Structure 1
Amino acid sequence: MTCADEIEGPEQEGADSAAAEAADCLCGRGCPPYAPGPEAVESRASNGPVMAGDVLRGERVVGFSYAQPPDGRLPEARDDRLLTEADHQPDAPPQRPVPTVRPPGPGDERLPHDRLPARAVVPAARRSRCLPAAVDDLLADGSAPWGRVFDPIARTVREAGHELWLSGGAPRELVAGNGREAVRDLDLTGTAPAGRFAELARRTLEEDGETYELRARVSPDTLVCTVYRDGGPTPLIEYRGLGLGGFRFPATGTDLVADSLQRDFTVNCVLYDFERHLVLDPSERGLPHLSAPGRALVPVSASGDPLVRAALAVRAVKFLVRWQTDGPVDTRELRAWTDEFPEDLADHVRERGDQAWDRLLALHHECLGGVPAQRQTAVASTLGAGVERLLKTLLGSAE
């Protein structure tokens, strides 16, 4: 057992509380048992940043987009664009900047995690008494790529009034009970628009005397901000604002449930608030699906888009290759969806053009580059003929 082994899931409130409090510390450092304290009453600062639900000039704010700066200039907050409900139809973001401070007037005073149902917000020590210490160790690991830059960047972003959470592999692996070695990179999400985060990160590193490079600056296709040092190939941190759909261009927001609807699988909807040590499950399905035994790989999307289907199929094979060595994985809901895939799914993606196919090839290499071809196709075959043929075609193109 590892220091983040599961003790209690969100669907076991009450029944296992006594067991959780009495359980021995699994990491051997004497982690205290979970003891509920008084609920902290927090609200947004009056001089804090804009969030979804605020009203600006009579229009309700829904999120943010980004305009690539000209002439190679580094990204700044002035490149962010404010989105309202009227911006769903245009093909490009409006030329509307994001105010530095939230406008006076009506708005939801609650912080994003307080807008979730109580069952979707789990104190980390209740999930596992050793989980808070495991996360602290991860973030303070000086040997990790992010070791020297995470804390100052996170502190600066928080001081600017933005919320910030661990996303992706770190919360998924640690909450599932896997050790530190299972976390390969550090992904963050939060309420800061892309340009604002990039500006805060750059300013922090300048003030700390660190050398840095925003190698990809902000990707206009994904709004991901990647921080590199000294031009090295390994990302130190990757950040993307909370996902937001419904626009014809990339957009981010400040709503946790909306973000969960943009993710690939329920297990990747789980976020970790490293300041308050809270596990957030906006989908309300991620935590149960991470629980062993009986882990489940369930897609969030039921998209009919061939490229979306192919990308999720590749990621599904990656997780199944990794997870099936530890025991059975429930793929019933996943298989019900992939059974709908046409056998010529790969051909449908190719019809999108070379750029779409090259992106899928790059994803395949990233997810499965070190996995033997026979193992890939064997796992893919459990998801139907369309996924199996897709993987064979990708493997053939990579030769």
Structure 2
Amino acid sequence: MTCTDDTGNAPVAESAECRCGRGCPPCSPTAAEIERRGPQGPVMTGDVVDGASVLGFGYEPPEEGTPSEARNDRLLTRRDLGSASPPPRPVPAARPPGPGDDRLPHHRLPDTAVVPAARRSRCLPAAVRDLLADGSAPWATVVEPIARTVREAGHELWLAGGASRELLSEHGREAVRDLDLTGTVPAGRYAELAGQALEEDGETYELRTRVSPDSLVCTVSGIGLSTPLLEYRGLGQDGFDFPATGTDLATDSRQRDFTVNSILYDFERHLVIDASGRGLPDLAVPGRALTPANRSSDPVVRCQLVIRAVKFLVRWETEGPVDTRELRAWTAEFPDDLAGEVRGRGDASWQQLRALHHECLAQVPADLQSAVARSLGPSVDQLFEVLLRSRT
């Protein structure tokens, strides 16, 4: 028997038995179907606007005290590569007629990169539904109305980060520490849609949305709460000297820190999306493989990635040895004085790195941090020596 789990994707083998005791059903055979944007669908990477190929979206912060809206988004084309800031070009409300790929982003990937969830585990769709509807979770009241509003506007939305990684590892709900979303919506438009959804829901009127111009992360927060209920950032887009997002899944996977963190989950169609082609295999390695997805030569990016690497290696040590062979081969290329190179960028870059180190590892003993950093090579060891000295 073959099945597509009602996703419209290529046939796959019948899923395994239910292991959670809820009687999760097997896949059911369906005909494959390629979904496409409608003629009034949103602009996406690859469309042509005024004769230029669209790459993604920038963002112009609004005046203080005013909300983030779609008018703050900026359309980025190939003509803008090398610009110091986003152009004053708004994002059209709908894609213009003309050339362009009208398939949805996941249909632009190879068939092997899009896997029906039940092929991974018959229980996975139910586990995701339970996670999103968990009444004890801070995001329980906000995910459904925001997702519905975003999709009604023609955009795609996926689970990203730790939620996808941990559920695909068949860890329980307690392993998911926060909820991150990504999608095709530009930052300002997402904030506008999220705000609209919260205003229409009488239970969430006290929540607020905010876009960080430095990262384009949009947070949904409660008044007086120290941590956000939900975070969203559009798909990563490279090539610009300012924050930018796009709608291309393969490009996004190369902007993530590690391959196991590049896996996305479509919680409407229940699809697992591994655009890098490495996330699922690396997750299947006993103890996992921590393989860098972003091989940047930028010293700041390199330092950010190894700080996160140490965080994950400390967290996963109880699950067995983690395969770090590719990570160590990459860090072996690093210059000796990474900290010095970051400091050469200015005090702001160094302070941001210290803040990330504190956020990721403040509760981890210094000797444990040093031991894990040492295992990643002399340049990482030296970086952590400097970071640990500077925090005292």
With the shorter chain as reference, the TM-score category is over 0.9
In the alignment, which residue of structure 1 is the partner of 2:205? 211
**3-state SS of paired residue (1:122):** strand
Q: Counterparts in 2 of 1:114-153, with a 5 A limit?
A: 114-153=107-146
In the alignment, which residue of structure 1 is the partner of 2:352? 359
Mapped partners of 1:320, 1:38: distance in 2:
43
Following superposition, the deviation at residue 352 of structure 1 comes to 2.1
Deviations along 1:269-305, one digit per CA (max 9) or x if unpaired, are 1000000000000000000000142621111222222
Q: Tell me whether 1:112 sits opposite 2:112 in the alignment.
A: no
Mapped partners of 1:365, 1:35: distance in 2:
48
* Identical-residue share of aligned pairs (%): 66
- State the Cα RMSD in Å: 1.5
Mapped partners of 1:31, 1:164: distance in 2:
24
In the alignment, which residue of structure 1 is the partner of 2:194? 201
TM-score between both structures, scaled by the size of structure 2: 0.94
Within the candidate set 388, 393, 397, 2:386 is matched to 393
Task: Name whichever of 363-372 and 119-128 sits farther off.
Answer: 363-372
Mapped partners of 1:384, 1:345: distance in 2:
12
In the alignment, which residue of structure 1 is the partner of 2:173? 180
Structure 1's unaligned 5+ residue stretches are 1-12
For the 8 Å contact 1:62–1:253, the answer to whether it is kept is yes
Deviations along 1:20-62, one digit per CA (max 9) or x if unpaired, are 43x3x22111112334432244211111111112122222211
For the 8 Å contact 1:213–1:231, the answer to whether it is kept is no
**Amino acid of the structure 2 residue aligned with 1:371:** V
Following superposition, the deviation at residue 385 of structure 1 comes to 1.3
Q: Counterparts in 2 of 1:224-239, with a 5 A limit?
A: 224-239=217-232
For the 8 Å contact 2:291–2:324, the answer to whether it is kept is yes
Q: Tell me whether 1:88 sits opposite 2:81 in the alignment.
A: yes
Deviations along 1:288-336, one digit per CA (max 9) or x if unpaired, are 0001426211112222221111111101111111122111111111001
**Amino acid of the structure 2 residue aligned with 1:193:** P
Q: Tell me whether 1:272 sits opposite 2:265 in the alignment.
A: yes
Mapped partners of 1:243, 1:345: distance in 2:
25
For the 8 Å contact 1:212–1:231, the answer to whether it is kept is no
Following superposition, the deviation at residue 371 of structure 1 comes to 1.3
**3-state SS of paired residue (1:70):** coil
Task: Name whichever of 86-95 and 272-281 sits farther off.
Answer: 86-95
Q: Tell me whether 1:241 sits opposite 2:241 in the alignment.
A: no
**Amino acid of the structure 2 residue aligned with 1:190:** G
Following superposition, the deviation at residue 108 of structure 1 comes to 0.9
In the alignment, which residue of structure 2 is the partner of 1:66? 59
Mapped partners of 2:286, 2:128: distance in 1:
23
**3-state SS of paired residue (2:58):** strand
For the 8 Å contact 1:123–1:277, the answer to whether it is kept is yes
For the 8 Å contact 1:361–1:394, the answer to whether it is kept is yes
Within the candidate set 135, 140, 162, 2:155 is matched to 162
**Amino acid of the structure 2 residue aligned with 1:336:** A
Structure 2's unaligned 5+ residue stretches are 1-10
In the alignment, which residue of structure 2 is the partner of 1:5? none
Mapped partners of 2:279, 2:77: distance in 1:
30
Within the candidate set 78, 85, 94, 1:101 is matched to 94
For the 8 Å contact 2:263–2:274, the answer to whether it is kept is yes
**Amino acid of the structure 2 residue aligned with 1:149:** V
Q: Counterparts in 2 of 1:326-341, with a 5 A limit?
A: 326-341=319-334
TM-score between both structures, scaled by the size of structure 1: 0.92
**3-state SS of paired residue (1:71):** coil
Q: Tell me whether 1:189 sits opposite 2:182 in the alignment.
A: yes
In the alignment, which residue of structure 2 is the partner of 1:42? 35
Mapped partners of 2:69, 2:168: distance in 1:
34
In the alignment, which residue of structure 2 is the partner of 1:316? 309
Following superposition, the deviation at residue 211 of structure 1 comes to 2.8
**3-state SS of paired residue (2:265):** strand
